[in-house]
């Protein structure tokens, strides 16, 4: 049976631009997209991946994985989200891949976000906000996040693909996603915050029971 995540993922195939490199995110929804992409691999030169996990899956299905530095711009970036607000600002990083995801999103002409309806929220912040930090700065960054009103908790045992730690920040009221993204990114020791607001999604595909809702920014 097709799930809502799979339905959203398969709908993203309509945004593929033949003969161009695309970007691929990380997570269970994206895994459905990668599986569906395999049938279209002859239409694209390859993909830039946002994580070691997605790289392995792409390669296993015969889709070439390219270095972003060799590619420059990419046509579309397809990725999931932990939360999406009506303005298509996102919280991401539940899978700890937020930094590479943000880099690939920044290089994409179009960011297509795929999710099921459980990810839609009126205002961001119910999902704890992931922040990737340089390990030696964890305590310092946690104190700064507390000063912003959040309750940061170390995701113990998780090391990102970049060798860093993750703090999950609970209890933040995110009324100004772009402002908070800027503020947290400026804390010394922060690599990236999982707020995708300055570079939000352009298209949000929400998988439902038997249809896909398309929202655009």
CB of 59 to ligand 5RP, least distance (A): 19
Closest to 15 (Cα-Cα) out of 23, 3, 27:
23
Residue showing tokens 């239409």? 43
Instruction: Tell me which of 81, 124, 167, 205 binds ligand 5RP, using CB under 6 A.
Output: 81
Structure tokens at 152: 């940061």
Site size for ligand 5RP, by CB under 6 A? 17
Options 101, 156, 181, 211, the catalytic residue: 101
Instruction: Tell me which of 8, 55, 84, 93 binds ligand 5RP, using CB under 6 A.
Output: 93
Structure tokens at 29: 């929804």
CB of 19 to ligand 5RP, least distance (A): 26
Q: Where in 174-203 is the site for ligand 5RP (CB under 6 A)?
A: none
Instruction: Output the CA–CA distances (angstroms, integers) from residue 205 to 10, 118, 136, 202, in the order listed.
Output: 10, 12, 38, 10
- Beta carbon nearer to ligand 5RP, 3 or 188: 3
Give 42's contacts (C-beta < 8 A, 6+ positions apart): none
**How far is the C-alpha of 159 from the C-alpha of 136, rounded, in Å?**
13
CB of 21 to ligand 5RP, least distance (A): 20
CB of 147 to ligand 5RP, least distance (A): 26
Active-site residue, 56 included: no
Q: How far is CA 156 from the centre of its chain?
A: 21
Burial category of 157 from C-beta neighbours within 10 Å (exposed 0-12, middle 13-18, buried 19 and up): exposed
Site string for ligand 5RP, 22-61 (x = CB under 6 A): ---xxxxx--------------------------------
- Please give the residue ranges that form the binding site for ligand 5RP (CB under 6 A): 25-29, 79-82, 92-98, 101
Residues catalogued as catalytic: 101
């Amino acid at each position: 049976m097709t799930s809502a995540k799979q339905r959203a993922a398969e709908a993203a195939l309509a945004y593929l631009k033949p003969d161009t490199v695309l970007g691929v995110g990380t997570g269970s929804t994206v895994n459905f997209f990668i599986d569906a992409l395999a049938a279209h691999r002859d239409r694209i030169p390859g993909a830039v991946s946002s994580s070691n996990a997605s790289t392995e899956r792409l390669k296993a299905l015969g889709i070439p994985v390219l270095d972003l530095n060799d590619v420059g711009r990419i046509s579309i970036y397809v990725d999931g989200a932990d939360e999406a607000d009506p303005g298509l600002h996102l919280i991401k990083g539940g899978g700890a891949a937020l930094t590479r995801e943000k880099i690939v999103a920044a290089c994409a002409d179009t960011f297509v976000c795929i999710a099921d309806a459980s990810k839609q929220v009126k205002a961001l912040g119910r999902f704890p906000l992931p922040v990737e930090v340089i390990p030696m700065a964890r305590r310092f960054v946690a104190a700064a996040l507390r000063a912003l009103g959040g309750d940061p908790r170390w995701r113990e045992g998780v090391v990102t693909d970049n060798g860093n730690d993750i703090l999950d920040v609970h209890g933040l009221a995110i009324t100004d996603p772009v402002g908070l993204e800027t503020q947290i990114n400026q804390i010394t020791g922060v690599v990236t915050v999982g707020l995708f607001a300055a570079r939000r999604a352009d298209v949000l595909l929400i998988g439902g029971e038997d249809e896909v809702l398309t929202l655009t920014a």
